[in-house]
Amino acid sequence: MKLRLLILALVVLAAAGGGAWWWAHGKRANASRALVLHGNVDIRQVDLAFNASGRIDRMLVQEGDRVKKGELLAELDLVQLRNAVDQAQAQVAAQQQVVARLKAGSRPEEIRQARANAEAARVDAKNAESTYRRLRDLAARRFVAEQQADDARAAAEAAQARLKAADEAQRLVVLGPRKEDIAAAEATLAANEAALAIAQRNLAEGSLHAPENGVIENRILEPGDMASPQKTVLTLALTEPLWVRAYVPEPDLGRIRLGDSAAITTDSYPGKRYRGWVGFISPTAEFTPKSVETPELRTALVYQVRVFACSPEGELRLGMPATVAIALDQPAHAGPRSCREGG
C-alpha cells in the first residue's frame, strides 16, 4: 500500500513538473513571437496666431473644443480691412474703364466732331484770306489805311494756323490712343489689382482658421486684446494622425517592418485593444530617452518608431502611456495604412 502511494505521488509530481515546464516554455515561445514596446501617445501642438495686427473682435472656441480643419476660430475687427478692400475694388473698376476706353479708340461721334471742327477752321481761313486780299488791294489804291491790311494779313495767318491745328486734331482722333498710353494704363491697372489682392489677403488674415483637426488646448487671448503675428492666440493639439512614439532596441530592429500591424493597450482602458500599424522607423539611432521604460540598459542604442493608432471613440489622449505589441510572424505589410482600412 505504501509503495502504491509513493508511486502515485511520484507520478503527480512528475506531471506537475512537466505541466509547469510546458507552461513556462509555451509562454516564452509565445512571447518570442511578439515584440512588446512601451511609449506614449505623441504630443503635437500648434501655436495659432493671426498673420495680421489688430484688436480681437470674436473668439468662437473654448478650451477642450474639437475643431475641424478650416473651421473659423477667431476674428479681428474687420471694419478697416473691409473698407480697404472696397477702396481697392473701386480703383480697379475705374482703371478698367480707362483701359477699355483707350483700347476702344475714338468713337464715330468724336471723329465726326473733329472733321466738323477742321472744316469750320478751313472756312474761317478761306474767309480771312479773302478779306486780307481785298484790304490789300484797297490799301494799294489808298482807299484804306495800311494798318487795316496788316491786321487782315495777321488774321488770315492766325486762321491758317487754326486750320492746321484742327487738321492735326482730326488725324489724331482717327488714329486713336497711342500704344504707350494703353500700356501705361494697363500697368496702372495691374498695380491696382495687386493692391486689391493685398487688401483681400489682409482681410482673410483677419480670420483665424484651424490648420488641421484637433482639440483647443489653451485659449490665451480674449476679445478686446491686441493681436499680432508674434502673439499666440490659441494652442491646438493635433489629433490626426494619432501615433504612439516608442523605441526599439537595436537587437530587435530587424524583427519589425514598416506596415506591420500592432495592438495597442493602455492602463486607462485595461483589456481594450486598439488597432495600429508601424508607420515610421527612424533611420538613425539614439540613446534611450530617460522617459522610456525598457529592461535594457539606459545607454543602449534604440531606434524611434511611430505606431499609428486608431481611436474612433477618442479614448487615446495625447501623452498617454501605451503598450504596443507587434506580432513577429505576420506577412509583410499586413497592417492597414489608415484607420479606414481593416474594419
**pLDDT per residue as tens digits for the range 71-103:** 999 999 999 999 999 999 999 999 999 888 887
| Residue partners of 243: CB distance under 8 A and separation at least 6 | 41, 42, 276, 279, 280, 306, 307, 308, 309
∠ at Cα 305 (301, 308), nearest 5°?
165
Pair (152, 187) in one structural domain: yes
Residue 268 domain-assigned (yes or no)? no
Q: What was the pLDDT predicted at 106?
A: 65
Pair (72, 215) in one structural domain: yes
Domain containing 212: what range?
Answer: 45-77+206-237
Pair (89, 60) in one structural domain: no
Pairing mode of beta strands 226-227, 321-327: unpaired
Residue 137 domain-assigned (yes or no)? yes
CATH of the domain at 212: 2.40.50.100
Rounded CA separation 31/281 (Å) = 22
Pairing mode of beta strands 72-76, 207-209: antiparallel
Pair (174, 124) in one structural domain: yes
| Residue where the block lists cell 476702344 | 104
**DSSP code of 289?**
P
Summarize pLDDT for 36-79 with one digit per residue, the tens: 999 999 888 999 999 988 999 999 999 999 999 999 999 999 99
Structural domain count, the chain: 2
- pTM score, two decimals? 0.59
Pair (108, 150) in one structural domain: yes
